[in-house]
Structure 1
Amino acid sequence: MRSVSPLETLAARSAQSDPPVNEYTRDLVRDVAEHQKRIDGLIAEHAEGWTLDRMPAVDRNILRIAVLEMVWRDDIPDRVAIDEAVELAKSVSTDRSPAFVNGLLASLLDVKPSAVD
């Protein structure tokens, strides 16, 4: 939204360190940036009737984090990633977003083994 990359924002926030940025958050930002092209491709494949550009930015970024956790993070159970994404959408996005996030991530979960090839 501010035309600043997530890595630049992370660097600026880390330099401020008030409040400090926890290591898990740093890892998420770095990993999403590293895998963003593939993550966005997976989201686009499973977003029936939606393009990435049409999605609210909040939903798009919630989905990016959840897809990262589902596909590249073995320490996060898939259902936990989905549940946390849905709860986050409930608290920071539109009334329709939780169902959209849940449906998209559930469809990705159905094909996850082939998605990671």
Structure 2
Amino acid sequence: MSAPTSARGKARRRAVDVLFEAEQRGVSAAEALAGRDKTDQVINPYTAQIVEGVAALQPTIDEFLATYAQGWTLDRMPAVDRIILRVGSWELLYNDDVPDGVAVSEAVELAKTLSTDESPSFVNGLLGRLQQLKPTLLA
């Protein structure tokens, strides 16, 4: 299991952790993030940006994921895959600082590290589809 090496990679990983925790505990992403602030853990500003961005746009992101995840409902996806897809989708569609290919490959790397053997190809396929459709999705 390889750990993310870049600061942004670590921030992505931490954002997945925070969003996963929020979903599992049934609290808002903001509450989960605030809970991390109360510990000695320093929250990277990019982690906060991802968490806040995903939380703000989650209904739209989830609609895209549900529409283009062929044969999969959001509820059927493993929770970690769903969170990784939300982070990857937010970076792909709404963060112009991250090149599209980087957003997809970073999400695939997270899936390799955190999820099942099938997850990287699933994440790659779904985000690749969103990447193709990006101009029309954001029109």
Identity fraction in percent: 53
Partner of 2:133: 111
Any stretches of 5+ residues in structure 1 without a counterpart?
none
CA RMSD, 1 decimal: 0.8
Please report the TM-score for the alignment, with normalisation by the length of structure 1: 0.96
Q: In structure 1, the residue corresponding to 2:117 is in which secondary structure?
A: coil
Q: Which of residues 1, 5, 15 is equivalent to 2:38?
A: 15
Partner of 2:63: 41
Matched, 1:91 2:127: no
- Alpha-carbon shift at residue 45 of structure 1 (Å): 1.2
Q: Kindly tell me the number of residue pairs found equivalent between the two proteins.
A: 116
Task: Letter of the 1:101 partner, please give it.
Answer: V
Distance in 2, matches of 1:106 and 1:10, equals 29
Task: Letter of the 1:10 partner, please give it.
Answer: L
Distance in 1, matches of 2:67 and 2:138, equals 13
Give the ranges of 4+ consecutive aligned residues of structure 1 lying more than 6 Å apart after TM superposition. none
For 1:7-86, list aligned pairs within 5 A. Answer: 7-16=30-39, 18-86=40-108
Any stretches of 5+ residues in structure 2 without a counterpart?
1-23
Please report the TM-score for the alignment, with normalisation by the length of structure 2: 0.81
